[in-house]
Amino acid sequence: MRHVLSVIVENKSGVLARVAGLFSRRGFNIDSLAVGTTEKPEFSRITLVVTGEDLVIEQITKQLYKLIDTYKVTDLTAAKHIEREMILVKVSINANNRSEVIEIVDIFRGKIIDVSDKNMTVEITGDYEKNEGFLSLLKKFGIIEIVRTGTVAIQRGTGN
pLDDT beyond 70 at 159:
no
CA–CA separation, 149 and 17 (whole Å): 19
Q: Is-contact 53 1, C-beta < 8 A?
A: yes
Angle at 82 between CA 150 and CA 9, to 5 degrees: 60
Model's pTM, two decimal places?
0.85
pLDDT tens readout for residues 98-116: 999 999 999 999 999 999 9
Could you report the per-residue pLDDT of 40-83, keeping only the tens digit for each?
999 999 999 999 888 889 989 999 999 889 999 999 998 899 99
Phi, psi of 109 (to 5 degrees): 55, 40
Of 85, 81, 76, residue with least CA distance to 131: 85
Element at 109 (helix H, strand E): none
